[in-house]
Amino acid sequence: MNKSPEFPTSEAGGAQLQALHTLINCGWRYVTRAEADQWRDGRRTLPFLETQLRADLARINRIHLDGRTYPFSEANIDAAVRRLADRIPEGVVRANERMTDDLMLGIALPQTIGATSREWPFKFIDWADWRANTFQVTSEYTVSEANGQAIRVDLVLFINGIPFGVIEVKASHVSSDQGVSQQIRNQKTGEGVPALFYSAQLLLAANNHDPRYGTVGTPRKLWSVWKEREDPADFAVNVVNRPLHTVEGKRVAMDFAPHMKRHDGLMEEHRLATPLDETIVGLCRPERLVRLVRRYMLFDGPQKKVARYQQVATVESLLKRTEERDVNGRRKGGVVWHTQGSGKSLTMGMLGKAIVVTNRLRPAKTCSL
């Protein structure tokens, strides 16, 4: 096992524990710190949970031939894992772009089935059915470089064992700007561990009242505030006050027992939803995170960009509009009002991406072409 330096105790007893409670109630299963190390075989230079990754890759991938299905070989599972692990250090944004392409598009792997030898499509994430993936969260996650440089982050979100979200939570009296600085620093060679961010998509830096979000390479001044536009007003309150399942509570207690306020849950009853809770519910619910990554992140030259809340709301409204037709089967038009500098080009680029991935412009049966 790689040795890493000791880190000071984080804000585990306050905002971090509240955030974890909200994440679990949103659908993330807790992975204990011991499991996180065990599933990497103690190799903290691995940013992903290899045991979980292998199990999920074998589960969600099948070869379909002549009406039958076949599993991928163990050698091909090994090859897929190496594809994620063996990355050329080339700058965190460029490395993230290459890995995001693999995650979004999948790869092709050769295998012989009977008399048929060819390459077959292989995916890391099931984008067609988000429920088919495994969603997990762990706390105080330590990742290190081969030279011993190490970081420990408060919360990491994994999809099929692959890090997709990195969250730094600060105490209420600590500025979120410190979390932003920490996220930026952790991506840098020599100061952080860039490998953790090769697959990461959503980054949060927050205290309870001032959460900010960005993605890999986001400049400090562009970390944004999320304002929910789709959920009912009391949705987040209901999520944070939902009793935690007994099994999950026991798992969390393995790491957080000194900070737990009740034996059958994490936090006090009837608590108000904080801005951090609302941001987690809005951005980090499994279905929301999958949607955000699939539709609302783009690489624009040397930068990676993530949509602001108004751009997401606009594109979602436009997608619904594409489904509306008049009595003759023709689609309706409309106008999107933008102010100067509000991201018109980015909104249109994300709309185009969303249309492609959702196949929203298929012709209606009643429409003559």
Whole-number Å distance between alpha carbons of 346 and 72:
39
Strand partners, 213: 204, 224
pLDDT tops 50 at residue 8? no
Average the pLDDT over 222-232 and give the result: 93
pLDDT grade for 284, boundaries at 50, 70 and 90: very high
Average the pLDDT over 236-259 and give the result: 87
Would you call 202 exposed, middle or buried from its count of C-beta atoms within 10 A (0-12, 13-18, 19+)? buried
pLDDT of residue 264: 43
pLDDT in tens, 12-24: 557 888 899 999 9
Phi, psi of 167 (to 5 degrees): -125, 125
pLDDT tops 70 at residue 361? no
Instruction: Name 367's Cβ contacts closer than 8 Å, sequence gap at least 6.
Output: 325, 328, 329, 330
Q: Is 255 helix (H, G, I), strand (E, B) or coil?
A: helix
Select the more confidently predicted residue: 241 or 266: 241
240, 277 Cβ separation under 8 angstroms: yes
The b/e string for 87-117 (b: 16+ C-beta within 10 A; e otherwise) is beeeebbbbbbebbebbeebbebebeeeeee
pLDDT tops 90 at residue 327? no
Predicted TM-score (pTM) of this structure: 0.90
Q: Token pair for residue 303? A: 């930068």
pLDDT in tens, 49-77: 999 999 999 999 999 999 999 999 999 99
Average the pLDDT over 175-183 and give the result: 96
When the pLDDT of each residue in the chain is averaged and rounded to a whole number, the result is 89
pLDDT of residue 359: 74
Which of 26, 22, 28, 54 minimizes the C-alpha distance to 40?
Answer: 54
State the DSSP H helix or E strand holding residue 353, giving kind and residue range, or none if neither: helix 344-358
